[in-house]
Amino acid sequence: MNGTRGAARLTARGVVRRYGGIQAVAGVDLAAPPGRVTALIGPNGAGKSTLFDCLAGTARPDAGRVLLGGRDVTRLPVHARVRLGLARTFQQIAVFPTLSVADNVRIGAEQRSRRDNGGGVTRERAAERTARALGLFGLEAVAAEPAGEQPTGVLRLVELARALAGGPRVLLLDEPAAGLDAAQTARLLTVLRGLAGDGMALLLVEHDPDLVAELADIVYAMADGRVVAAGPTATVLSDPRVARAWGGAERGRERGGR
Ligand code: ATP
């Protein structure tokens, strides 16, 4: 089946998610188009993670719809969305510490092989994709080492390599540069831009205004569960409502950025 391949847009329409009396997400429309990096920004408690969970399938919206490549996935569990080409990395790094770096990445590659072959895993193809994903982040030298012995920066790249080895059409990234040093961040930016250049849709939650300014094409700014501004990055970052709610954009640039 070829319906799982090619470019895809991730869309939220009127998404609402409540926790008790709180509307963590209060009716959000958002589109992450293929070939673009879209960033979701906003102060703590704005609802970014909750919206992310609704998109990824770890939370079910109370109202509204989530579309992946035009298909309604609102009620699909995480693994079904993964099969349709949605991948995600977490703010809290989640790797298998006793497995090697390469075996962690291979898990993502095998998911893709299953998707491609309707159940059968092609060992060679999974190995190829693992090697390519390791190479993308310069992880070859630590490939055979246990993941649990790697520093945070490396683990973040391992997580990303695992997500990419699955060949996603849409990639959700939760603060992807947290814990990375300057060289790793530069490499990350190059890789993420390249993925968007190849037609992938990228959506990231990010607190670092410099990174958003450098990487994102489109920005959605949230506050109190709602989108308060959306559009091209420069326009949204200079919007006074965003500067007031977020507070970081101007200060970040004054620091001189990356
Ligand atoms: P941060 O930048 O701090 O991660 P955020 O923008 O991701 O914040 P959310 O974590 O989505 O914001 O939280 C939005 C609101 O929903 C907050 O008021 C939060 O306390 C509440 N909330 C989030 N998750 C839960 C939960 N599991 N149970 C109860 N309330 C929750």
- The DSSP output letter for 146 is B
pLDDT tens, position by position, 206-216: 988 889 999 99
74 lines ligand 1 (CB under 6 A): no
Q: How confident is the model at residue 257 (pLDDT cuts 50, 70, 90)?
A: very low
In a domain, 95, yes or no: yes
In a domain, 213, yes or no: yes
pLDDT tens, position by position, 109-124: 887 655 555 555 578 8
- Distance, CA 88 to ligand 1 centroid (Å)? 18
Q: Which atom of ligand 1 is nearest to the CA of 222?
A: 6
What is the C-alpha separation between 139 and 159, in angstroms, rounded? 11
Asked whether residue 206 falls in the same domain as residue 151, the answer is no
Q: How confident is the model at residue 254 (pLDDT cuts 50, 70, 90)?
A: very low
Q: Which of 37, 38, 32 is nearest to 9 (CA)?
A: 32
- Distance, CA 50 to ligand 1 centroid (Å)? 6
In a domain, 14, yes or no: yes
Predicted TM-score (pTM) of this structure = 0.88
Residues in Cβ contact with 116 at an 8 Å cutoff, skipping those fewer than 6 apart: 122, 125
**Structural domain that includes position 213:** 7-85+201-258
Provide the CATH number for the domain around residue 258: 3.40.50.300
Total domains, the chain = 2
Q: How confident is the model at residue 232 (pLDDT cuts 50, 70, 90)?
A: very high
Q: Which of 167, 187, 221 is the last residue of a domain?
A: 167
In a domain, 98, yes or no: yes
Q: What is the pLDDT of residue 93?
A: 83
Q: Which of 167, 186, 218 is the last residue of a domain?
A: 167
What is the C-alpha separation between 62 and 83, in angstroms, rounded? 24
49 lines ligand 1 (CB under 6 A): yes
